[in-house]
Amino acid sequence: MNPYLFKGETLEEVLEKVRKELGENALILDTRYVDKKGIFGFGGEKWVEVKAIGERRRRPPQIPELAEVRSEVIRLREEIASIMRSDSKQIEIDPLHKELLKRGISHSLAKKLMSELEENFPHLQDPVERALKIRDLLTQKIKVRKAASQVNSPALWSFIGPTGVGKTTTIAKLAARFKLEKNLSVALFTLDTYRVGAVDQLEVYSQITEIPLKVIRKPEDIYQGKEEFQDKDIILVDTAGRSQKDKKKMEELDQYLRILSPTETHLVISSTTNQKSLKNILDHFLTFPVDHIILSKLDESTSFGEILSEMIERDLSFSFLTCGQEVPDDILEAKSDSIASLVAGAGE
Look at residue 348 in the predicted model and tell me its pLDDT.
43
The larger pLDDT score, comparing residue 314 to residue 69, is at: 314
Q: What does the pLDDT look like over 26-40, one tens digit per residue?
A: 888 788 877 765 666
| Residue 249 to residue 239: CA distance in whole angstroms | 11
Rounded CA separation 22/9 (Å): 19
Q: Are 180 and 329 in contact (CB under 8 A)?
A: no
When the pLDDT of each residue in the chain is averaged and rounded to a whole number, the result is: 84
Q: Is 46 exposed, middle or buried (0-12, 13-18, 19+ CB in 10 A)?
A: exposed
pLDDT tens readout for residues 126-174:
888 999 999 999 999 999 987 665 566 789 999 999 988 988 889 999 9
As a whole number, mean pLDDT of residues 81-97 equals 66
Give helix 127-141 / helix 95-102 axis angle, nearest 10°: 50
Domain borders along the chain are 4-53, 143-344
Q: How far apart are CA 335 and CA 338, in angstroms?
A: 5
Could you tell me which residue, 203 or 315, shows the higher pLDDT? 315
> pLDDT by residue (tens digit) across 296-322?
999 888 888 999 999 999 999 999 999
What tens digit of pLDDT does each residue of 231-275 get?
A: 999 999 998 766 666 678 888 888 889 999 999 999 999 999 988
* Of 294 and 124, more confident: 294
**Spatial contact of 36 and 348, defined as CB atoms under 8 Å apart:** yes
Q: Pick 58 or 133 by higher pLDDT.
A: 133
Kind of pairing, strands 213-215 and 234-238? unpaired
The answer to whether 330 and 173 have CB atoms below 8 angstroms apart is yes
Angle, CA of 336, 257 and 208, to the nearest 5°: 75
265, containing H or E segment: strand 264-270
CA distance 195 to 335: 33
Q: Which CATH number fits domain 143-344: 3.40.50.300, 3.10.129.10, 3.40.50.1970, 3.30.470.20?
A: 3.40.50.300
Of the candidates 97, 129, 93, 126, the one whose C-alpha atom is nearest the C-alpha of residue 111 is 97
Q: What's the rounded Cα separation, in Å, for the pair 8 and 237?
A: 62
Contact present, 137 and 115 (Cβ < 8 Å): no
Residue 99, pLDDT above cutoff 60: yes
